């Protein structure tokens, strides 16, 4: 069994790294588990524990979904949270110009469902998770920082590859291994 997900790796440029560092520094009074920039990705579909026997089936669905897809650009903009202002859980960077991303993610999810993989209860929401909130020491100051970064511009990024990845969890955080890579043309 492998803990798998299908994702697009995001390689941050200097502007995004600077903004991310500034956000982290502004929120250092809170207990937040930050995603390391070398692990930035947009999850298209989380598969969870998957037997080795069906990995080839997953790869076939990925290939069938992306074989005729062209690369496209997105823009990473805005900062937001999942959860509520009173009980925030996740800090994310948003994605603009994402209809192509939403369309291919939904096609992938439907193709996986048709191949026997369970659909999620929630719709695909394009985002890049940058922090997982453990404890907020002062909600007012936390929300003020999020508001300050709300309309930030991070970078333009070309989507030209989709990855099947394994996540290995440990006390030090997750380790990601690429199982297969699928290029868009």
- HEC profile of 103-145: HHHHHHHHHHHHCCCCCCCCCCCCEEEEEEEEECCCHHHHHHH
Spacing of C-alpha 151 from chain mean position: 19
Helix (H) or strand (E) holding 11: none
* pLDDT band at 184; cut points 50, 70, 90: very high
Asked if the model's pLDDT at residue 25 lies above 90, the reply is: yes
Catalytic annotation present for 182: no
How does pLDDT run across 152-161, given as a tens digit for each residue?
999 999 999 9
In this predicted structure, which of 103-112, 156-165, 168-177 has the lowest mean pLDDT? Answer: 168-177
* pLDDT band at 98; cut points 50, 70, 90: confident
**Contact at 8 Å (CB) between 136 and 142?**
yes
Best CA proximity match to 176, nearest among 1, 55, 5: 5
Catalytic annotation present for 41: yes
> What pLDDT score was predicted for residue 70?
95
Q: In what order do the strands lie in the sheet with 127-135?
A: 31-34, 127-135, 88-96, 72-83, 153-159
Per annotation, catalytic residue among 30, 41, 113, 182: 41
Per annotation, catalytic residue among 30, 113, 127, 182: 127
**Contact at 8 Å (CB) between 4 and 165?**
yes
Instruction: Kindly list the structural domains of the chain, giving each domain's residue range(s) and its CATH number in brackets, ordered by start.
Output: 2-183 (3.90.1140.10)
* pLDDT band at 78; cut points 50, 70, 90: very high
> What pLDDT score was predicted for residue 121?
79
How does pLDDT run across 104-133, given as a tens digit for each residue?
999 999 999 999 998 887 889 999 999 999
Q: Is 181 helix (H, G, I), strand (E, B) or coil?
A: strand
Strand segments, DSSP code E, in the chain are 2-9, 31-34, 41-50, 72-83, 88-96, 127-135, 153-159, 161-168, 175-183
């Amino acid at each position: 069994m492998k803990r798998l997900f299908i994702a697009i790796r995001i390689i941050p440029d200097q502007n995004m790294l600077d903004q991310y560092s500034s956000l982290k520094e502004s929120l250092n009074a809170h207990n937040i588990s930050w995603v390391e920039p070398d692990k930035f990705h947009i999850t298209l579909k989380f598969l969870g524990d998957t037997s080795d026997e069906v990995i080839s089936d997953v790869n076939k669905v990925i290939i069938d979904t992306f074989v005729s897809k062209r690369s496209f650009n997105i823009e990473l903009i805005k900062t937001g949270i999942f959860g509520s202002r009173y009980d925030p859980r996740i800090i994310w960077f948003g994605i603009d110009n994402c209809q192509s991303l939403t369309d291919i993610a939904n096609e992938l999810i439907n193709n996986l469902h048709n191949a026997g993989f369970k659909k999620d209860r929630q719709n695909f929401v394009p985002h890049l998770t940058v922090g997982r909130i453990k404890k907020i020491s002062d909600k007012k100051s936390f929300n003020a920082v999020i508001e300050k970064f709300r309309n930030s511009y991070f970078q333009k990024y070309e989507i030209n590859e989709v990855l099947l990845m394994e996540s290995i969890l440990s006390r030090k955080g997750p380790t990601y291994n690429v199982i297969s890579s699928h290029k868009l043309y």
